[in-house]
Homo-oligomer: A and B are copies of this chain.
Amino acid sequence: MRPAMQAMHTDIMNRNMSKKPLQSPTARGLAQSALDYSASVAYDRFLYSFDIRASIAHARMLGRQAIIPSADADAIVKGLEEIEHEIESGVFEWREDLEDVHLNIETRLREKIGDAGARLHTARSRNDQIATDMRMFVRIVCGQTVEGLVRLADAIVRLAESNPAVVMPGYTHLQRAQPVLFAHHMLAYVEMVWRDIDRFAACSERADSLPLGSGALAGVPYPIDRESVARELGFSEVSRNSLDAVSDRDFVVDFHAAAATAMMHLSRLAEEIVLWSSEEFGFIRLPDSFATGSSIMPQKRNPDMAELARARTGRTYGNLVAILTSLKALPLSYNRDLQEDKQTLFDSASVLTATLGVFAEMLPKIEVNRKRTEAAAGGTGYSLATDVADYLVGKGVPFRDAHQAVADLVRYAEAAGRPLSGLTLEEYRKFSPEFGDDILMLDVQASLNARDVVGGTAPKRVKAALIEARKRVDALK
């Protein structure tokens, strides 16, 4: 039996990666195990497009500032554009012995354009270079995540729009408490999405500062023009302290915190999908395309997507812990520890993106079983008890006394095995003389209508909220 661990390791390391004797200047002489342990190209190569864009902007600036000959700058730009094409067409040969994405690209550049390529690394270091790549990545991913969140909001709103008048029980403690509109329930999740969007937007803003120009740690001894590089790369400012610029990974932590929170929200929705799909609740029917059956019960609809989303929430929590742990008690400035900012970031970004995609596609296809939700909302007949108490309060009975009277009333009805709606006015009056004829007209719809406050479940409020949400989604799409 071939050891599984080794298989895993080999697989990860060998993913179209060549091994050459020639090595990078820093890695030269490393033991193979040390190179395997420290090389990052297996994952940081996913940053290639950011690395190339940043190098192009850097080279152009060096040319403009006459730090390198402008012909060299032009050759560098052209060479890098070709390399990007090589990578995207799959012909680029990634080499583990060259450690990381930077040296792989720079080495290839020198192969292609010779001496001019040797000037690219003027006035920068891998420390400010990787910080730049990572900030560009985080900003792009924040943008993509916001798009995914908007699609999710759209999907939730569509599901709500398809079921505008469906009533279901509102729960506290997973006990039926008061009837609410299904659309109202869905709009609660839309609120979470708005907050998530806000969080990723803030994360993107905090990453919006260009570290390039900080050199290894102290700034560079060249007359560089950092602002022009920032402009070309879409940063609105340059970092203010070189030591901080190469040591800071707050923007990575911010991303993880936002991702963990967003997945927490999705895990709550996932839990409800699991519950509502159960025979016991029977509130929804998942589309065939987003549920698995058993091999023997093809009619079964296992809520696998929801279960997986719920479980993967754990990964995003763990990744947040990982980066925070790695950064704990790290002295300034650059330490190799910072290399560990990538894999967990890529993982959380992937998990979140994929989950948003699946949910956005799945949700609008869910069928709500109105018969089941409305039967449940009517329920045992006591879900309107608070409305009865509020009726008494409306007649001037102090709140706590009204509650006591209704508590007695409910106990009476329950002992008699009857719903509140089955009681006579005389029976009501035994518990308070304030009850009038109109108490007999109290029903689920009246209960809903009464909650006519901002944020309440009264149908007209929910309708307005739905229109508002739709507007906001459409504005963001």
Assembled-state Cα–Cα distance A182/B388 (Å): 39
Tell me, yes or no, whether A239 is within 8 Å of chain B by CB: yes
Query: Closest chain B residue to A274 by CB distance?
Result: B174
Q: Residues 196-223 of chain A: 1 if any B CB is under 8 Å from the residue's CB, otherwise 0?
A: 0011001000100000011111111110
Query: Closest chain B residue to A192 by CB distance?
Result: B244
Asked whether, in the complex, the Cβ of A218 is within 8 Å of the Cβ of B457, the reply is: yes
- A188 touching B354 in the complex, CB below 8 Å, given contacts A387-B221, A398-B118: no
Tell me, yes or no, whether A261 is within 8 Å of chain B by CB: yes
Tell me, yes or no, whether A322 is within 8 Å of chain B by CB: yes
Q: Which of A12, A174, A279 has the most CB of B within 10 A?
A: A174
Q: In angstroms, how far is the closest chain B Cβ from the Cβ of A418?
A: 13
Asked whether, in the complex, the Cβ of A314 is within 8 Å of the Cβ of B321, the reply is: yes
Q: In angstroms, how far is the closest chain B Cβ from the Cβ of A154?
A: 16
Chain B residues with CB under 8 Å of A280's CB are 275, 278, 280-281, 376
Tell me, yes or no, whether A313 is within 8 Å of chain B by CB: yes
Assembled-state Cα–Cα distance A234/B194 (Å): 22
Chain B residues with CB under 8 Å of A438's CB are none
Asked whether, in the complex, the Cβ of A330 is within 8 Å of the Cβ of B9, the reply is: no
Q: Which of A313, A389, A455 has the most CB of B within 10 A?
A: A455
Q: Residues 19-36 of chain A: 1 if any B CB is under 8 Å from the residue's CB, otherwise 0?
A: 000000111011101101
- A268 touching B329 in the complex, CB below 8 Å, given contacts A191-B241, A297-B410, A455-B242: yes
Asked whether, in the complex, the Cβ of A4 is within 8 Å of the Cβ of B324, the reply is: no
Assembled-state Cα–Cα distance A253/B188 (Å): 18
Query: Closest chain B residue to A335 by CB distance?
Result: B307
Asked whether, in the complex, the Cβ of B216 is within 8 Å of the Cβ of A172, the reply is: yes
Chain B residues with CB under 8 Å of A174's CB are 274-275, 277-278, 303, 331, 335
Asked whether, in the complex, the Cβ of A290 is within 8 Å of the Cβ of B121, the reply is: no
Asked whether, in the complex, the Cβ of A173 is within 8 Å of the Cβ of B141, the reply is: no
Asked whether, in the complex, the Cβ of A331 is within 8 Å of the Cβ of B297, the reply is: no
Asked whether, in the complex, the Cβ of A31 is within 8 Å of the Cβ of B290, the reply is: yes
Tell me, yes or no, whether A333 is within 8 Å of chain B by CB: yes
Task: Give the residues from 364 to 383 in chain A that come closer than 8 angstroms, CB to CB, to chain B.
Answer: 376, 379-380, 382
Assembled-state Cα–Cα distance A219/B358 (Å): 32
Q: In angstroms, how far is the closest chain B Cβ from the Cβ of A251?
A: 9
Q: In angstroms, how far is the closest chain B Cβ from the Cβ of A469?
A: 9
Asked whether, in the complex, the Cβ of B171 is within 8 Å of the Cβ of A332, the reply is: yes
Tell me, yes or no, whether A432 is within 8 Å of chain B by CB: no
Q: Copy number in this complex?
A: 4
Tell me, yes or no, whether A82 is within 8 Å of chain B by CB: no
Task: Give the residues from 343 to 364 in chain A that come closer than 8 angstroms, CB to CB, to chain B.
Answer: 343-344, 346, 349-350, 353-355, 357-358, 361-362
Asked whether, in the complex, the Cβ of A46 is within 8 Å of the Cβ of B333, the reply is: no
Asked whether, in the complex, the Cβ of A33 is within 8 Å of the Cβ of B140, the reply is: no
Assembled-state Cα–Cα distance A238/B13 (Å): 37
Tell me, yes or no, whether A55 is within 8 Å of chain B by CB: no
Asked whether, in the complex, the Cβ of B295 is within 8 Å of the Cβ of A264, the reply is: no
Asked whether, in the complex, the Cβ of A271 is within 8 Å of the Cβ of B331, the reply is: yes
Tell me, yes or no, whether A416 is within 8 Å of chain B by CB: no
Asked whether, in the complex, the Cβ of B176 is within 8 Å of the Cβ of A328, the reply is: no
Q: In angstroms, how far is the closest chain B Cβ from the Cβ of A198?
A: 7
Task: Give the residues from 224 to 252 in chain A that come closer than 8 angstroms, CB to CB, to chain B.
Answer: 224, 226-227, 238-245, 247-248, 250
Asked whether, in the complex, the Cβ of A317 is within 8 Å of the Cβ of B321, the reply is: yes
Tell me, yes or no, whether A129 is within 8 Å of chain B by CB: no
Assembled-state Cα–Cα distance A296/B53 (Å): 26
Tell me, yes or no, whether A57 is within 8 Å of chain B by CB: no
- Among B9, B184, B260, point to the contact of A243 (Cβ < 8 A): B184
Asked whether, in the complex, the Cβ of A226 is within 8 Å of the Cβ of B453, the reply is: yes
Q: Which of A3, A141, A330, A361 has the most CB of B within 10 A?
A: A330
Task: Give the residues from 131 to 181 in chain A that come closer than 8 angstroms, CB to CB, to chain B.
Answer: 137, 140-141, 144, 170-180
Asked whether, in the complex, the Cβ of B214 is within 8 Å of the Cβ of A455, the reply is: yes
- A30 touching B290 in the complex, CB below 8 Å, given contacts A226-B454, A239-B455, A253-B261: yes
**4 extra interchain contacts, Cβ-Cβ under 8 A, other than A177-B217, A242-B451, A296-B389?**
A185-B332, A245-B455, A296-B385, A312-B326
3 nearest A-B pairs in the assembled complex, by CB-CB distance: A219-B456, A318-B322, A221-B450
10 contacts between A and B (CB under 8 A): A122-B399, A188-B333, A221-B390, A238-B454, A239-B454, A253-B257, A267-B328, A280-B376, A312-B326, A318-B323
